Structure formats: structure tokens, C-alpha cells
A and B are shown apart, each in its own frame.
Chain A
């Protein structure tokens, strides 16, 4: 229905947000921090500062931040390969995150795991394997244990669209459904699994429909709308905490860069990327905040300056951290 735009309404202020300014700016700051750290990680890799590989999350910050932002310290995160920044969301110090990239002794795993596969036991972030979807099963097991202990902690596990094809994903959902486990499965549907498009991955359009087959709640949201993700995740986490069972939260989004830093992603159409860049979650949220007079250029600059400073310090720390001694390879195999 076409309505005439009333000049008076057009200039009226945007309606007040349901959320406090502190929360909104916190979400904003965290998205910018994840973006900037991720871009820095890519640059460092390109400069040959660390070996291995890196899987950028740029473009997907809405799901990454929104999915875990309301977690408590005693809650758990089970990340995958593209979720290095989820450690930042959960509160891991940047120094540890960058030492992780370098494989130095100040990385939480002392250089044993690969740069992007980061855990942080003190904050209940499970160091992931690279085997796709395995973290969903381990995370589900944690949720089972927590429930048995009568705790009200929850587990958030991240995965991609591709991960929903393997049996392990379904075994996890099924088990979580049977036992009404305190789980939130954040599915970052970025339309591609490496070079494989969604149409060859599944006949579904909404990956939250995967939940139906297991009798659990499934929700799909615009992953580049940080508030939509945050609200859906917060609701799911509250349900999980209250013993009402697991949720699959599909965040529809897009990864800007190649699958990893060595993938030029020639299989994608440049137009597709250009479309998605227009839907960048950060400027979109900046507009939301600016419309409500919560953000201006000065605050933006201040946020970025502070983060740049923190990143610089973290990188310097990582570079000065020593490599493990070769014989450390023998440690941590047996208890």
C-alpha cells in the first residue's frame, strides 16, 4: 500500500530503541572490534607473520557477535574454524588471540592448535578440531553434562551452512532435542561452503528447518541485522537456561573474502559480493545508532582509535612472545 510521505513524519526522530544505549553501543563496539581484529589477522597472514592459514569472518559479525553477546562467564562456546572472533566476544584477551595466530607460548594452546582454531579453557571456549560439525557434538555433550549437574549454564555452538549436511550435525540436534539440552546452535549461513553453493548442499532454503526434523525450535534471521540476531539469541539462551530446550538459529549472511586466506574465491560472482557488501552489518547499525543520536563521527573515531591501540599492543605482545621449545611437542599428551 502506497502512503504519501508526510514531511513532518519523515524528519521525526526514529523511535527509541527497546535496548539501553550501553547495550547498543556495546554491540556496536564489539562488531567493530571483531572486524578490525579480523582484518588485522588477514594482513598479518599476508605479510607472512604466521604460518598455517586463517578463515576470515568479515561480513558475518552480526551472527558472531549477536549469537554470544549475552552469554555469562560460566556459559560455554564451541566455535569452529571461522569463529576466532567468537573468543573476543566471549572475552578472551586480544593478546592471547594474537599469540594464538603466531603459534607462540602465550597462545592458550602454546602453539599446538592452528591459528584460527582457538579455545580458551578459562572462559569455557572449547579448543576446536578442524573436523566440521564435531564441535556441535562436543558442545551438546557439555550441555548434557551441565544439565545433569543442575546448572543453568548454556552452550552456544557455531557452524556454517555446509556443516548442516554431515550426520554429526543431526546427531547433535537429535540428542539435544531428546534431552531438552541448554544449547544454541548458531548456523552462519553464508551461502557457500568453501566453493560449494547452497543449492548443492541442501534442498532447503531456510536452514532453521533442519530443527523441525528433530522436534526442536528453529529460527531464521537476517544475520546482518545485529539486533535481530541479538534478540533471537537472547530469547533462545533464556529458554535454554530455563530448561525449555535447544534452538537452531540460522543467520543469513555472507563472507566477504575467500574461504581462507589462500582462496581467491573465483567461483563466486563479483555481483553477489557487491550486493552483500551493501548489506554490511556495521554501517547498517551505525545508521540505526546515528538515527537515535547515539553515534556520531567523533564517537566512531574514538571507538576505532581505542581498538587500534589495543590491537597494536596485542600484536607487539604476540611478536615478542617466544616460540615453544621443540620438546614441548611431547607435552600434554597424557594426563
Chain B
């Protein structure tokens, strides 16, 4: 039975169901037990599964991730949480040097099935340290999946798939989607592929590649542009590493134009990689240069409301980008 629920309820439900199904699943992080999480993503888990499986950790991101990695080596499937992406710094060695490389450096002797939930993104007045995106720090690293769902349906299905996956996974949850993104979500557990992008809207005139909160912004812009006669195909990447090159390239071969939209800053954002892939694999199909609408190259996100508005990509900025590409 499906019903309409929010993104955050979908996350919460996935955690409840996976913890019920598999006693090896445990969670740890700051404020996620008794407090139920800053955004209440983990509400009810502490009450249901107890302190043994739902651990309010000390304030120390390094050991949160490293302890999860260690526990995974003796058979657990930990789902540690980083409260805000901005605070992942202390855990960078455990993620990049340990989790992502354990399998490789032991030639498959060890694997590290952990799912690190990370809350990210701007547009909520969080300022410089409660708004950041750092997906590409990690997407650059072979050996760790980087996911960024945009719908409640994907949030549940991808989180369950991630917990069951043998690879380490970074699961980025955009805070602005928590209560605004709603979709029909089955009550029972299900999985969504971790290797495929989703075509959210078919179109013939251009491909727009995006992910996360921007996927919802782009969808609105695409509907408006359709009224002006521009039919955009919107591709929601969902998975930033490894990228689903096939879907991306196929779409651009069909539409011959590509706009990349992300909230992240421009320089070395995922758009740079997407553009390089299309250059290598779809150059002859392009009728226009690949264009980008992204956050500006400034520290994300300055606090004062006019500064935050300047930073964030919105529907108008996306539509302006689409107009420009369509008119090229």
C-alpha cells in the first residue's frame, strides 16, 4: 500500500524497517537517539531498539565513522550519521583513507558495508556552516558511493538499497527536501537502483542534468519553459558516484543540448565532470556548448538573506539558463 509521505518520513521508515529486518543494522551519531535527530530523521528508533543499537555518540565525527567502519569488519551494518555536511571534516580520513580503500588495500579481504547519512544543502538560512555541499570531495574518490536522492520514493528505496549494499555509501539528504518533497511511497520495504539516473520528464529540446533539491527547482522551471515552447528532458542523477554515464549520454544524444544545474559552487563541481564526459562521448551530437547554472564560487552560504538569495540557484536563474541555451 502506498501513501503520500515526506522525504524525512521516508528516511525514518527505511531505518525502522531495516533495523527490524536485520539485527546487524545499528546507528550512531550526535543527538540521534534520545533526541531523535536534529530534524527528527531517527525519531522513535531509540525507543524501539534501545541504546545498544541506537547510540548517541560523543561529539567527535572521526570516531563516529571510524567506529562504524570497525564494527562493519565484525559483521555489523552500521548507519552512522553526520549531523551536517559542514562538520564532516574530522571524518575525512576515516571516509577517504579507510572506508573507501579497505577493500582495495586488502585485495577484497575486507569490505566495509556502512551507510553514512549526511544532511546537506542551503536555502534555509543556515549560513556558512549549516548549508554546505561537499559531495564532490567524496565523489572524486573511487570506492565509495555518493548518493543524493531528490524524492521521498527514492529516499526510502535508495537508503534501503544502500544499507544492503556491500560498499561504503555516503547518503546525502538535502535539508530543504525533508519536509517539502512528498511522494507516493509503498509501506513495504523496496529498493531503488544505486547505479541509475532517473529521467523525471521527457523532452526533445534540451537535457537538464541535476540532482538533490535542485531537481525540484529544475522541474518547476521546465514546466514553465514548456509553456514557452521549450521541452526540456530532466535527468535526476540520484547517484553522483559512480555516475550513470549511459543515461546521461543517451539523453544528450537525443536532445543535442545540455544544461547542468547544481547548487554546489561552480569550480570542480560535478558539472565539470559531466561536461567532460559529454565532451568525450557525445561531442558530435552537440548543437550548442554545454552550459552550467550553479552556485557562485564563494563560500557557501553567506548568512544575510540577500546574500543567501544571491548564492542559491532558483527557478528564475534556471529559466534564464534554459532560455540562453535554447536560443544559442
Contacts and interface: CB of A to CB of B under 8 A. Distances in A.
Contacts of B90: 166-168
Contacts of A104: 304
B229 interface: no
Main SS at interface, chain A: loop
Interface residues of A, number: 39
B226 interface: no
Contacts of A117: 127-129
B182 interface: no
Contacts of B59: 132, 162-163, 165-166, 193, 196, 201
B88 to A, nearest CB: 10
Main SS at interface, chain B: loop
Contacts of A168: 90
B86 interface: yes
A215 to B, nearest CB: 22
Contact of A112 (B34, B57, B86, B303): B303
B125 interface: yes
Contacts of B57: 196, 200
B189 interface: no
A324 interface: yes
A200 B58 contact: yes
Contact of B305 (A51, A110, A112, A201): A51
Contacts of A267: 34-35
Contacts of B297: 333
B31 A323 contact: no
Contact of B58 (A52, A111, A162): A162
Contact of A52 (B33, B38, B127, B309): B127
Contact of B127 (A114, A193, A195, A196): A114
A220 B130 CA distance: 33
Nearest to A266: B35
A327 B310 contact: yes
Contacts of A113: 127-128, 303
A312 interface: no
B306 A195 contact: no
Nearest to B130: A130
B129 A52 contact: no
Contacts of B58: 162, 165-166, 196, 200-202
A299 interface: no
A326 B310 contact: yes
Nearest to A330: B298
Contacts of B304: 103-104, 110-112, 323-324
Interface residues of B, number: 36
A129 B34 contact: no
Interface in A294-335: 323-330, 333
Interface string A105-132: 0000011111101000000000001111
Interface string A196-231: 100011100000000000000000000000000000
B242 interface: no
B307 interface: yes
A14 to B, nearest CB: 41
A88 B209 CA distance: 49
Interface in B266-311: 296-299, 302-307, 309-311
B186 interface: no
A104 B305 CA distance: 9
Contacts of A323: 304-306
Given A114-B303, A131-B86, A202-B58, A329 B126 contact: no
A132 B86 CA distance: 11
B62 interface: yes
A166 B90 CA distance: 8
A201 B311 CA distance: 37
Contacts of B303: 51-52, 103, 111-115
Contacts of B298: 329-330, 333
B89 interface: yes
B306 A326 contact: yes
Interface in B76-125: 86-87, 89-90, 125
A243 B127 CA distance: 39
A39 interface: no
A166 B306 CA distance: 35
Contact of B31 (A52, A194, A327, A333): A194
A112 B301 CA distance: 8
B61 interface: yes
Given A196-B31, A201-B59, A52 B125 contact: yes
Contacts of A51: 125, 303, 305
Interface string B25-62: 00000110111001000000000000000001111111
Given A196-B56, A202-B58, A129 B310 contact: no
B260 to A, nearest CB: 21
Interface in A176-207: 193-196, 200-202
A267 B311 CA distance: 36
Interchain residue pairs A-B with the least CB separation, the first 7: A111-B304, A195-B35, A130-B129, A103-B304, A114-B127, A165-B58, A51-B125
6 contacts: A52-B127, A114-B130, A130-B87, A130-B130, A131-B86, A162-B58
Interface of B: 30-31, 33-35, 38, 56-62, 86-87, 89-90, 125-130, 296-299, 302-307, 309-311
Given A194-B38, A195-B31, A196-B35, 15 more contacts: A53-B126, A103-B304, A111-B303, A129-B129, A167-B62, A193-B59, A194-B30, A196-B58, A196-B59, A200-B58, A267-B35, A327-B310, A329-B298, A329-B310, A333-B299
